[in-house]
Amino acid sequence: MTRDPDSVRRAREMRKNPSRAEEKLWSLLRDRRLIKRKFRRQYPAGQWVIDFACPAIRLAIEVDGPSHDDPDQQTWDGLKEEYLRANNWRILRIQNADIYQAFGEVEAQIIAEIGD
């Protein structure tokens, strides 16, 4: 999987302005805090940027806020998922509301997906 220079630039910019939900989830994933797995935030993958990625096990975590209800965004998300699956990535989609209201369940869901 190659990295598109534009996606690398976008990823760097996105790291500077995370959403509140992304900040909260990053507090769980950073520094190998969750089952000692290395996660990266705003990880470039082809022309796409994955919100959180564990490259070692090819797990992509996407954080979805209200903008993901838009039909154009859903089309974009679908194309991104097709690309990731074609490159052997598993995708876990998490809603912003779940991060705020059911953080323990989100943590359990990620641990189950990791499978360790």
> Which residue's entry shows tokens 């089952």?
35
Rounded Cα–Cα distance for residues 50 and 40 (Å): 9
Q: How many CA atoms lie within 13 A of 46 on its CB side?
A: 12
pLDDT, residue 69, reads: 64
pTM for this model (two decimals): 0.86
pLDDT, residue 2, reads: 65
Rounded Cα–Cα distance for residues 68 and 36 (Å): 30
Query: In this predicted structure, which of 4-13, 31-40, 66-75, 95-104 has the lowest mean pLDDT?
Result: 66-75
pLDDT, residue 70, reads: 67
Residue 16: both structure tokens together? 């500077």
> Which residue's entry shows tokens 């499978």?
115
Residue 35 has pLDDT above 80, yes or no: yes
pLDDT, residue 116, reads: 57
Segment 36-87, tens digit of pLDDT: 999 999 999 988 999 999 999 999 999 988 666 667 777 888 999 999 999 9
What is the share, in percent, of the chain residues with pLDDT greater than 70? Answer: 92
pLDDT, residue 14, reads: 76
